[in-house]
A = this chain, B = another copy of it.
Amino acid sequence: MKFGGTSVADIERIKNVARRVQREVESGNQVAVVVSAMSGVTNQLVAWVNQLSPLHDAREYDTVVATGEQVTSGLLAVALQEMGVNARSWQGWQIPLQSDGVHGKARIQRIDKTELDRRLTDGQVAVVAGFQGIGPDNRITTLGRGGSDTSAVALAAALNADRCDIYTDVDGVYTCDPRLVTKARKLAKITYEEMLEMASLGAKVLQTRSVEMAMNHRVRVQVLSSFSDAPGTLVVDEDEIVEKEVVSGIAYSRDEAKITLTRVADKPGVAAAIFGPLADASINVDMIVQNVSEDGRTTDMTFTVTRADLQRAVKVLRDAGKKLGFEEIKPDANVVKVSVIGVGMRSHAGVALTMFRTLAEKGINIEVISTSEIKISVLIDEQYLELALRALHTAYGLDAA
């Protein structure tokens, strides 16, 4: 069981979490619980570190921010004991949960489950501080923001858990964001691959890395709410889903910005000349379109970056301008990415056509297209976001009855 920050936001909610754990124990399950910091705590700690030094030692950052989860783990253990449930807290260094030495965004390398296993067998609940491990330097590491999901999946894998239940403030994975599409339905099951696309496209239910890890270790993950008793969404292997939908869900991301370079010389090496300097500046480029050259000598090049990187990307390109040789830079932050996702696409033609036709009928212009085996993404003007989502949701037959 993993509980996020809003689920443990205060003492009453920690008691609520304890009651859920107690219920699992009373059902005869062996339970390990992974907890996040109480909501708001990590932000405060990060702010303090940044106030002292924007370019801080990541080892000290880890020492400071890992305390949030340490507090919650101790408090939940106390709450469980108070209910008569045998429990104890575990910090990353106590298990030990060994990570590499990349402080601030460490990767888990090995979990020594000997002691945990022994105590679980004895009926003791392990309350594990999420988000943290211990590095080869014997110092606390953290796994990057949202890392408690990864802790939970890694622990579930190490312990050969039957299930990894991720409790959060939503009650599952929906066909689309219910705040924008009222007809969105909760999915009973979704495949790892689809969940991975959803997560990386901005559906902030699970951290991308945790889904990758679940997929690699075949951990059955359930996403469910800590505030209701409704069944959640199971993230499982494709074989487990008998009736596959062609499209399982529609995701979107507002964190997109478009840059167009006009009249770029259309010659070999020009893409490298553009994207090299951006990569050097650690700016990730997502979608890329190179227009067909009209005059045979120049072309327009369009690509997307995150909104936070837009100004910096424009500056980098301007600085590289002379060598590149283009006419104009046109930045545009008013774009969104909309993606339809489904493993069924592999065997069904016409999915893309439905998307293009639906958007065209609503008069929505597609600015950039990119596809993968189980996903089609388009970049559109931000003002059409809700319209596009609702139209596509209906077109793919996803609307709730």
Residues of chain A having any CB pair with chain B under 8 Å = 11, 14-15, 45, 48-49, 51-53, 56-57, 59-61, 63-64, 66-67, 70-71, 73-75, 77-79, 81-82, 88-89, 91, 93-94, 138-140
The verdict on A78 contacting B94 (CB below 8 Å), with A60-B89, A67-B71, A88-B60 known, is: no
When the two chains form their complex, are residues A70 and B73 in contact, meaning their CB atoms are under 8 A apart? no
A82 partner, pick from B14, B52, B59, B64, beta carbons under 8 A: B52
Chain B residues in 8 Å Cβ range of A71: 45, 48, 64, 67
**Given A15-B52, A48-B75, A52-B75, CB of A139 within 8 Å of CB of B94:** yes
> How far, in angstroms, from A345 to B67 measured CA to CA in the complex?
50
Q: Is the interface of A mostly helix, strand, loop or mixed?
A: helix
6 A-B residue pairs with Cβ-Cβ distance under 8 Å, sorted by A, are A11-B52, A49-B78, A52-B79, A56-B78, A60-B75, A63-B73
A70 / chain B contacts, CB cutoff of 8 Å:
63-64, 66-67, 70
In the complex, the chain B residue whose C-beta lies closest to that of A68 is B67
Residues of B near A53 (CB, < 8 A) are 78-79, 81-82
A347 to chain B, nearest CB (A): 52
Question: Which residues does chain B contribute within 8 Å of A77, judged by CB atoms?
Answer: 57, 60, 63
CA distance A197 to B2 in the complex (A): 51
The 6 closest A-B pairs by CB, nearest first: A64-B74, A63-B74, A67-B67, A53-B82, A60-B74, A52-B78
State in angstroms the CA–CA spacing of A29 and B317 once bound together: 50
Residue of A15, A66, A74 contacting most chain B CB atoms (<10 Å): A74
> Would you call A74 and B61 a contact (CB within 8 A)?
yes
